[in-house]
Amino acid sequence: MPMTTAFVFPGQGSQSVGMLGEIAAQQRLVVDTFGEASDALGYDLWALVQQGPEEQLNRTDKTQPAILTASVALWRLWLSEGGARPAYVAGHSLGEYSALVAAEALTLVQAVRLVECRGQLMQQAVPEGEGAMAAILGLDDVDVIGACAEAADGEVVSAVNFNAPGQVVIAGSAGAVARAIEVCKARGAKRAMPLPVSVPSHCELMRPAAERFADAVTEIDWRMPTIPVVQNVSAAVAPELETLKRDLLAQLYNPVRWVESMEYLARQGATDLVECGPGKVLSGLNKRCVKGVATHNLDTTDSFAAARAALV
């Protein structure tokens, strides 16, 4: 593989009941990877992913291990089919943990247990119904940031995912997010819509979760990544493990700087971005973040074959 390829790993929102079912029917490695994760978690993760119920799969502490395992399964399949290792990896929010597994900084077993704990602590930090997130389309970043400041009124609301030019996600207290939606509409947003989530990720309300999560991160036997990992908080590669772990914890209550991360990859010469996980959310975003980039997916038999033909 040329050193112009980067793999990107999706976060929450890319899950669906039945995901990877088609490719798993032909590739036993996918089911075996889910079996390894199931043994670590103590329940049948593959059955949940294939059969639901959807409400259970969409619980944060179930969604995170499911997406991570799906992403790692496709990564392993890529390598087993002769795919070369990319020059860089990056992951959107939860996807950063998938990227760290690909880079051999931690194992699948370590990662699924870690993200299950992460999901539980995030849910505990803000009781269901008290937090909210919303997608704002068609406003510049500075206008969204200003709208949040105007709407806060002593509560937490902030821009938390800079996903693509003109697409920003906000999060915070439910009332403040509702006010910010109205302010964004008044400022000319094309759309401003609540998201169906139970946890307001990447805002200050998640700081207590990060403080409690620190012990779990510290207990892991980390290794220095064998592939450079572009992190959400810095939109850059950490020079050493302590910085990597610090930024991984800070990610819980700081924005996902996805546009800047993709621009960083482009500056390093990346021209092909491979989305390694369920769905095509990141591919759609990445085309808007960096002009001229080629995007590829691995989550179906046909898309996997097309990516191999283009890159191997």
SS3 195: coil
Q: Is 202 a catalytic residue?
A: yes
Which of 14, 38, 93, 234 is an active site residue?
93
Cα–Cα distance for residue pair 56/32, rounded to 1 Å: 22
Q: Do 292 and 4 meet the contact criterion of CB atoms below 8 Å apart? A: no
State both tokens at 16.
């669906």
Nearest-5° angle of CA 125, CA 131, CA 132?
135
Which of 38, 71, 158, 202 is an active site residue?
202
**Share in percent of the chain as helix, strand, coil (round to 5):** 50, 15, 35
Count of C-beta atoms within a 10 Å radius of residue 82: 9
Cα–Cα distance for residue pair 303/312, rounded to 1 Å: 14
Token look-up 């992913």 returns 49
Token look-up 């990859």 returns 265
Cα–Cα distance for residue pair 124/146, rounded to 1 Å: 29
Q: Which residues pair with 297 in a beta bridge?
A: 275
Nearest residue to 116 via CA among 97, 129, 100? 97
Q: Is 296 a catalytic residue?
A: no
SS3 204: helix
In terms of Cβ atoms closer than 10 Å to its own Cβ (0-12, 13-18, 19+), residue 174 is middle
| Residues labelled catalytic | 93, 202
